[in-house]
Structure formats: C-alpha cells, structure tokens
Amino acid sequence: MRKALVAGNWKMNGRIAKNDDLVSSVLSGLASGNLDSSVDVMVCPPAIYVGQVRAQAVATRLMVGAQDLCEFEDGAYTGEVSAEMLVDVGCSAVLVGHSERRTLFGDTDKRVAAKLSSAVAAGLAPILCVGESLEQRDSGDTLAVVEQQLLSALSGLSPEVLDLLVVAYEPVWAIGTGRTATPEQAQDVHAHIRQVLATIDGPLAEKVRLLYGGSVKPANARELFAQKDIDGGLIGGASLNADDFLAICRAAVAG
Ligand code: PGA
C-alpha cells in the first residue's frame, strides 16, 4: 500500500509574515485530528523561506521540500543552491524538472537528470515532474513525451538508489489554468508511468508514489485521488490557501 502524499508548491509566492500565517493554519489543521496519519503532507516554499518554514514545522508531521536545486556540488556557482544545502536546512524533498523550470529557465532533460542525481546523492526525495504540452496532447504524443522525460531523468541510476523517488504528472496545459485533466485522462498517464517504471524494476514501480498536479482544487481532488494509480497531488495555487490545502489533504485520505 502506497501512502498518499500531498505537496504544496508555493512557486514564487510568500513573505515572512504571510508564510507564518499560512504554516500556522496548516499546522493547526493537521493537529486538529481531522486528518489521520495515512497521508504525508509537505510544503515547498521558495528556497529563501525554507529555513523559516522548517523552523515552524520542526517536530510536526509537516514535511518541507524545495522547488529546485543546482545540479552541482558546492562551489563557484553564484546564485545557486546545492542539494547538501537543502538537506542542511531541513528539506526532505525537492521538485525536479517542474515545467516552469523546463520552459522558462532552460532546464533541459540532461540538466533534469543531473539535478535528480544530485538530489538522490544527498538523500533528498526527488519529486520528478513530467507532463505534455497542449500541442503534444492534441497530436497524440502524451504517453511518448512523458515516457521520454521519465526515462531520460532516470537514466544511469540504479533502482536501488531510487527508493525515495516520487513522480508528479503535471500536464502543462492544466497548470495554473483552471483546466484539470479528467480523472480518466490522469489515470491513463499514471498507469503508463507505472508500466514504464516496471520496465526498470518491478518492485520499484509498485513503491513509487505518483502525484497528479495541475489545477487541483478541493472540488476535484477526491475524484482524482480515487484513481488506482494516483497517490496524491502536487498543488500550486490552492496550496496558498490553508483551508483549500487542508481540504485537498483530507481528500487524499479518502482516495
Ligand atoms: P496549479 O500548479 O495547482 O496552480 O495548477 C501546480 C504545479 O505547477 O505544481
């Protein structure tokens, strides 16, 4: 049985006071007993606020992740943040290859693979994001695109080091658009991802949590999470509102 995971991707949002309020509300929701421990809950603030959020969340069940990392080890890389630094400030996971990084900041498949290796080497759980554009979906290439992104990111890594791997399927056309994949569309891609993982290693495929991301809201979360191969969600906009985020977490318990 895979444990559900709901991770909030705050993207480039937040201020010290606002983060404090949001995390306090999430923590009191988690502590109120409305959400049993069958779901893992994580937030991924901007790197500069990771330490702040971690200090608030320490000794609670709220896990803290980062949104990106540098593929290189510490050194002369002005402006970058290494995997070891993320571990040092208390991160347990990091998003790798989010579509905004791929399309806006030049994260190629090769760089995504290098970032994933660095995360793994540092003991961080990599949350690998894959997903097709609208054009690719319309031309019937969804499964091929997702498969290619997945295999290229994992190439060169043996299944034994992929223990903590999480994969997030995020159709680019559904991110921040209010347009969600239907539960069936998402399940089809998730099933394919699991099949592709099985070609690498059977037990690994059964163990890896597959998250859906792209306009997940309290109103659609339950149906998505009820799908056989959807083990939780990566939540952007709705993770900035504590009530919505907690409602989505509760939907993962039922799923
Ligand atoms: P969204 O973003 O929930 O705002 O669509 C999801 C994501 O990009 O991780």
Task: Map out the domains of the chain with their CATH numbers.
Answer: 4-254 (3.20.20.70)
* Ligand 1 atom nearest 239 alpha carbon: 3
Residues near 105 by Cβ (< 8 Å), separated by ≥ 6?
none
pLDDT tens per residue across span 46-63: 999 999 999 999 999 999
- What integer pLDDT is reported at residue 235 of this predicted model? 98
pLDDT tens per residue across span 164-211: 999 999 999 999 998 889 999 999 999 999 999 999 999 999 999 999
Distance CA 38, CA 216 (A): 20
- What integer pLDDT is reported at residue 37 of this predicted model? 84
* Ligand 1 atom nearest 9 alpha carbon: 9
- What integer pLDDT is reported at residue 254 of this predicted model? 59
- What integer pLDDT is reported at residue 131 of this predicted model? 98
Which positions are annotated as active-site residues? 98, 170
How many angstroms does the Cα of residue 233 sit away from the middle of ligand 1? 10
Report, as ranges of residue numbers, the positions in the chain whose pLDDT lies below 70.
Answer: 254-255
CA angle 54/101/46 to nearest 5° reads 20
Name the residue at shortest CA distance from atom 9 of ligand 1. 236
Determine the angle formed by the axes of helices 183-200 and 218-225, rounding to 10 degrees. 50
